[in-house]
Amino acid sequence: MKFATEYLWFNTEKKRDYINITDQVEAVVRRSGVQEGMVLVSAMHITASVYVNDAEPGLIADIDEWLEKLAPYRPDYRHHRTGETNGDAHLKNLLMHHQVVVPITDGRLDLGPWQQIYYAEFDGQRRKRVVIKVMGE
Report pLDDT digits (tens) over 77-127: 999 999 999 999 999 999 999 999 999 999 999 999 999 999 999 999 999
Give the other-Cβ count within 10 Å of 134's Cβ: 24
Question: pLDDT at position 72, please?
Answer: 98
Query: How far is C-alpha 44 from the chain's CA centre?
Result: 9
Mean pLDDT computed over every residue of the chain? 97
Domain 2-72+86-136 listed as CATH 2.60.120.460? yes
Give the other-Cβ count within 10 Å of 123's Cβ: 23
d(CA 49, CA 18): 9
The burial of 64, by beta-carbon neighbours within 10 Å (0-12 exposed, 13-18 middle, 19 or more buried), is given as middle
Q: What proportion of the chain, given as a percentage, has pLDDT over 70?
A: 100
